[in-house]
Every structure is written in C-alpha cells, then in structure tokens.
Structure 1
Amino acid sequence: MTAGGHVTLVGAGPGAADLLTYRAWRAVARADVVVHDRLVPVEVLDDLGEHVEVVDVGKAPGRHKVPQDGINALLVRHARAGRRVVRLKGGDPFVFGRGGEEYAACVAAGVAVDVVPGVSSALAVPALAGVPVTHRGTTTAFHVVTAHTRAGEQELDDVAAGCVTQRAATLVILMGVSALPAIVTRLLDAGASPDTPVAIVERGSTPDQRVTRVGLDLAAKRADELGVRAPAVIVIGDVAAHGLLEGTSDRGDVGDPRG
C-alpha cells in the first residue's frame, strides 16, 4: 500500500446536509482533497480550510465533467501524493454509485481505501415522503433498480416487472424520470394492474421536495403534465397508496402533487 495517503469513499446521503452521518462529516473535515458529485450537499464544504482542494466531478444526464476512469485516476494520484482523499458521493457509495469501481481501482493501484456508508436515497427519500417500502400486511420485500445502464435507458427485467405484476414486492426505481413512459408500458404489458399505486418523489430531503401519487396507467402522463424532473425516486406498489398510513388508502387515487 502507498504510505501516508489514502482514499475514503463517503456516502453523502439523499441531499440534506443533516442526513450525513457523523462519521461522514468527520471524514470530510479531515480531508486534504474532496472529490464530489453533483447531488451532494455542497454546504458541508463551506467550512473547509483554505488548504483543502475541492474537485467537482459531478455528472448530469448526457454530460460528464470527468469520465469514470479519470475520477479513478484522480483519486489514486492524490493518494499517492500522501494526501487524505474523500470521494463524496450522493446516497451510498455502493448503491448505483460506482463506488465499487473506485474501490477496486484504489486496490489495484496499491492505495489504501475504506468506505463510510451513506443513507441511500432508495430508502430515505420514500421514507421522508411518508412511503414505507415495506409495511406489515401490505408487503414484506422491496426491489431496487436503476433505469439507466451504460447504454442509457433500459427496460425493466422480469424480476422487477414481477414485483409489480404479482404484487410480491415494492419496486423502487432510481434515475427513472426520463424512462417513465417505457416503464409504465413495460409493466402494463406484463400484466400489472392499471391502478397499481405509484409515488414519485422529486428532490427528496430538500425544501423543494414534491410528491406525486397516481395510478400506474396515468403515471407518465401526470408526470409530464406536472413537469416532474430528476432527481426523483419512483416507488411502485401498494405501499405507495395515498392514505396507507392513515388507514384510508385508495389505489386509484391521484394524490395532491405536493404530497
């Protein structure tokens, strides 16, 4: 291992600064270099010393400031120079965050690396919107997928579709706003009930959080009408029913777009 320098992959949580863990905050406070994504709460960087180098490598749909190989090389280079490097990533580093690739790159280069888990948006954002991904008497399992691969938008696989069509588990979709029309078509074609509840939570954990609840068949149309934009988490299944936790759920209800 390289003497002195090391890399810490830090999960920044779903967006709100106060959802960083104490361990995450402490790692950032001790860093010599912070390499951060687009959706992290940048206010946590405001109090860093002047000696700390902050590098924005944020990715937006269709626009990557720094390709993944470049990020890997950046982490290794700074660590080999004896610096304490924090790779600050939205959510959890190992949940669709490519943290595994960065970890492996450090190991291959002989650089010491560790991980500070983060609060994943897949769980936190639904919870903050009052949507439990599991609920006694409703569902006891959930399945998390991303709507994007290296090739772009993808169709849901059979396992994901089966969660909804068989009402066997909650389906949580990350990075799925642009793919929502295709997702709806895929699920309906697979036999999902048109009135399956859907909750779309935009900008979860921030002051601008907005929740849209709607039946599956109208989900894409309603999202387009309301101008739903990324970042958003899409929850599909009976747990997304309006009024579930108040005992007044109605699967066919189109809820107030603000929750």
Structure 2
Amino acid sequence: MSSHEPSNQHHLQSHAHPVALIGGGPGAWDLITVRGMHRLQEAEVILCDHLGPTVELDKLCDTSNKELIDVSKLPYGKQVAQEKINELLIEHALAGKKVARLKGGDPYVFGRGFEELQALAKRGIACEVIPGVTSAISVPALAGIPITQRGVVHSFTVISGHVPPGHPSSLNDFRALAHTGGTLAVIMGVKNAPHITQALMDAGMDPNTPAVVIQEGSTEQQRSYHCTLGTLAHSMSEHDVHPPAVYVIGEVAGLGT
C-alpha cells in the first residue's frame, strides 16, 4: 500500500454524499414521509427491501434514471446478507453517488438500520436517518384497533417473533411480557405464533384475552381475523396467514369487533 492511499481514501470519503436511510412505512406507497419521498427523488441508487412501498416505487419517484438494487430478506426464503448490503452502500457512496436505502416500516424497529449506519460511519460516510411509520402500530390502526385506549390500557410492547421462546438467541422475557397489563404487538411472528402464544399462556396470561391478526396491512390485500390468545395460532393456520402480518394481543384487540 503506497503512502498516498490513506489520504486518497480520506478524499473519497469526504466527498461522499450522505446516505439516506429511509423508513418506507407499512406497505402502501403514500404512507411514506414527505422527506423520505424527496430523498428517493434525489437518489441515483436505491437499495430496496421487499417490504414498504417498493412495488409502487414509480409513484414516488422517476425510476427510469435510477439504479434499483433488490436486497430483500424474505422470511425463510431469499436472503441478501447484511454484510453484502453494507458493502453495496459503501461502494456506491464512495463512488460519489446519491444513495438511498429504502426499508419497510421504521429503519430502527427491528430493521437493522443502526447496523447500516455504523458500517457507513466506520468508513467516514454520513447517514441521514428518516423515520418511517412502523407496521406494529399502523397496521392495527388501519384494521380499526387502537394500540392504546384511555381507560383500557396505558402501555404497549412491540415484540419481534423472529425466534421462538427459549431459543438461545431470543432476548424476550415472555414471563414478564405476560404480565405487563398492556397491549402486545408482535411482528415477524407468523411461523412462531404457536410457540409465542403457548409461552404467554404458560406464564399465566388468560387464554381468553382478545387478539387479532392482520395480514398485508395497508395494502389492497389486507385482511384481519379476530380471535383470542388461545385460538390465535389455530386461526392463523385455518386462514393460511403468511408474512407480512402483525398480531395484537390485549383488551384493545376486542374493541374493533
């Protein structure tokens, strides 16, 4: 490595445009923020997930003059490694391109957005975080379910159901979650619904607690099913619920029936 390379690398980094880390919202194209839409319009390269407004991106910006890169992580399907996504962000930013990273929901709600910001920061690349509407709250609202309600509940907890209770990598305390007295909103939890609901009941949560599952929230395919904690897993199986879906457990789930 020549003595000139480090200064050249610094030169490249100092002239890199800030990467826009955008929360795209729950799915419908017009639920992205105005700032997020503006950054998409300004971008030359857009790295897209499969969630959020990716399918209708042409309604938010002119895609004919942009490079679109699919970096989807489909549940139990196609995967683009996080390390590869980080590399692509860095590569295009250092090439002087205006880069937008479009994620579903909010980039900091189980979206690994902070990992991407850290990777960019290590290379001296600035990152503008643009919050998005998280599906954990918005999808129930669109289905008529308030995540909180005066006189009914004073708290809510958003839970990642990506790994089941008892899994070595699980950081959730389901015994504590069963006794919060608040609403539980579970995202990325379709496959593990039987394990999650059983863990909550084993911890003492009433099986008759109202529940609702909403699939494809905010899209034309949205459908919801009211049930109880005890019947939630069966209801999801009966109706062939698949990701993306959010389920809500708590008294508020009975308000929309």
Fold equivalence (TM over 0.5): yes
Equivalence map 1:126-137=2 (5 Å): 126-137=140-151
Match of 2:89 in 1: 75
- Is residue 34 of structure 2 the alignment partner of residue 34 of structure 1? no
Say if 2:190 and 2:241, in contact at 8 Å, map to a contact too.
yes
Number of aligned residue pairs: 240
Quote the Cα distance in structure 2 between the aligned partners of 1:81 and 1:64: 28
**RMSD over aligned Cα atoms:** 1.7
Quote the Cα distance in structure 2 between the aligned partners of 1:133 and 1:224: 24
Say if 2:43 and 2:66, in contact at 8 Å, map to a contact too.
yes
Q: Quick one: which of 15, 29, 45 aligns to 1:3?
A: 15
Note the C-alpha offset of 1:77: 0.5
Equivalence map 1:200-219=2 (5 Å): 200-219=213-232
Match of 1:250 in 2: none
Deviations 1:165-186 (A, max 9, x none): x361111111111101101110
Equivalence map 1:88-167=2 (5 Å): 88-148=102-162, 152-155=163-166, 159-164=173-178, 166=179
Quote the Cα distance in structure 2 between the aligned partners of 1:63 and 1:76: 25
SS at match of 2:14: coil
Match of 1:25 in 2: 37
TM-score of the superposition, structure 1-length normalised? 0.87
Quote the Cα distance in structure 1 between the aligned partners of 2:25 and 2:68: 19
Note the C-alpha offset of 1:208: 1.0
Note the C-alpha offset of 1:158: 6.4
Quote the Cα distance in structure 2 between the aligned partners of 1:49 and 1:199: 37
Distance 1:49-1:200 versus aligned 2 partners, 3 A rule = closer
Say if 2:165 and 2:172, in contact at 8 Å, map to a contact too.
no
Deviations 1:201-220 (A, max 9, x none): 10000011111111111111
TM-score of the superposition, structure 2-length normalised? 0.88
Quote the Cα distance in structure 2 between the aligned partners of 1:180 and 1:80: 43
Deviations 1:8-38 (A, max 9, x none): 1000000000101110110000001000001
SS at match of 1:63: coil
Question: What is the percentage of aligned positions where both structures have the same residue?
Answer: 43
Say if 1:141 and 1:170, in contact at 8 Å, map to a contact too.
yes
Higher strand share: 1
Read off the aligned partner of 2:122 and give its amino acid letter. Answer: A
Structure 1, unaligned runs of 5 or more: 246-254
Deviations 1:186-228 (A, max 9, x none): 0111111110011101000001111111111111112111111
Distance 1:107-1:167 versus aligned 2 partners, 3 A rule = closer
Distance 1:76-1:126 versus aligned 2 partners, 3 A rule = same
Q: Which moved more, 1:94-103 or 1:180-189?
A: 180-189
Deviations 1:45-68 (A, max 9, x none): 364253310000111122344200
Read off the aligned partner of 1:226 and give its amino acid letter. Answer: H
Say if 2:90 and 2:123, in contact at 8 Å, map to a contact too.
yes
SS at match of 1:199: strand
SS at match of 1:234: strand
Equivalence map 1:192-207=2 (5 Å): 192-207=205-220
Distance 1:81-1:167 versus aligned 2 partners, 3 A rule = closer
Distance 1:158-1:71 versus aligned 2 partners, 3 A rule = closer
Structure 2, unaligned runs of 5 or more: 1-12
Say if 1:23 and 1:116, in contact at 8 Å, map to a contact too.
yes
Say if 1:160 and 1:171, in contact at 8 Å, map to a contact too.
no
Deviations 1:85-107 (A, max 9, x none): 00000000000000000000000
Quote the Cα distance in structure 2 between the aligned partners of 1:5 and 1:133: 38
